[in-house]
Amino acid sequence: MTVATEKVAEPAEEAGAAFDVEAVRAQFPGLHQEVHGHPLVYLDNAATSQKPRAVIEAVTRFYERDTSNIHRGVHTLAERATATYEGARGTVARTLGVAAREVVFTRGTTEAINLVARSFVRPLLTPGDEVIVTWLEHHANIVPWQIVCGEAGATLRAVPIDDRGVLDLDALEAALERGGDRVRMLAVGHISNALGTVHPVRRIVEMAHAHGVPVLVDGAQAVPHMPVDVAEIGCDFYAFSGHKTYGPSGIGALWGRGEHLESMPPMLGGGDMIRSVSFEGTIFADPPTRFEAGTPNIEGTAGLAAALDFLAGLDRAAVLAHEEALVAHAAEELASIPGVHLVGTAPDRAAIVSFTVDGIHAHDVGTILDARGVAIRAGHHCAQPAMRRFGVAATARASFALYNTHREVEALAAAVRHAQEMFGA
């Protein structure tokens, strides 16, 4: 996923490329609207993605035909709902290349990380222990570790990045060696949500495992953009969110090695996560049910499965090439504008271009672009340590999806130039 440096001479969708972006766009009704009198250019995909009709229809179909609760009902609708829910678990398992019994449904990546922090790592932590993260993590992959470390008297350590936004693997190795057998977890994002840096997660896992350290990978930004083979990565836990993967909000999944899940107590107690209950005590169900207390987001799993099936039906190599070309085009267009500075220039980068504009706060950039129908994200992107590393309070962030076009890249650049004109920058 290396960003090319040569100028994109002709938009891929206009050059008869294998990936038919217009056919894909036709499946996303949310893209076909105007904002402030301009055609919508949706470049906020790292925050949440638009939904294809297949996802919308899957959720609607559940509400119209199959609304019921799962597992214990014996009537037809309950059986349909259960089949939908467990079928979705199988779809997630196929997507990641794992066993369905190792897939836990969560509200998203954030809850998944909290579950691992609370149920796997917290029981192991004692004063003087360590958890390692990186400077590029989303707050969801920092704060849960801070909480459990604070409770146990353990230390959270962060591995630095260089001026391009690339993780310092030598510093990681030094942290692992220094921590020794006191390091209880290494948590790392697959792709940075702030800069788009793609971490060499397989190499990172190998390094950690050589020191006996388990690894959690935050895949929230990866699953929408690349095939993920958990066995190839070799990690111990992998988490992602539905809403960034063309699916509904409030649903996601955690994969964990079976032996780890077996060792973990539940984070929440309630219905459906038990084998038996008495006032003398409770026997918990086996994983993954142990971690899915209460009525889950059944309709969300229907939409998530539809989203993953939608992705599986595409030529992922062609999608990846299309997105790489978009990022390369956007990086070149923005860097060519005087006063615009890219933040994060890792050679292996996916889907995201962060930038600042001299004399204009990122929030003002976002507001002016919105007035022209261009939707980007402006702020610290729940990655304040990364922002501080680059000496900025916020960036403007354009994040791309498979339905974006080169014409939209040009609309982005034109809108940034318009913002400079308005501010006299």
- Residues annotated as catalytic are 382
The backbone torsions φ and ψ at residue 206, rounded to the nearest 5 degrees and listed phi first, read -60, -45
185: exposed, middle or buried (Cβ count in 10 Å: 0-12, 13-18, 19+): buried
Q: Are 258 and 62 in contact (CB under 8 A)?
A: no
Q: Cα(365)–Cα(28) distance, rounded to whole angstroms? A: 26
Nearest to residue 26, comparing CAs of 409, 399, 372, 310?
Answer: 310
The two three-digit tokens of residue 247, written as one number:
């699916």
Residue type, position 147, single letter: I
Residue matched to tokens 């998944």: 112
Q: Alpha-carbon torsion 366, 371, 376, 382, what sign?
A: positive
Q: Cα(196)–Cα(165) distance, rounded to whole angstroms? A: 9
Q: Cα(425)–Cα(409) distance, rounded to whole angstroms? A: 21
Q: Cα(253)–Cα(268) distance, rounded to whole angstroms? A: 16
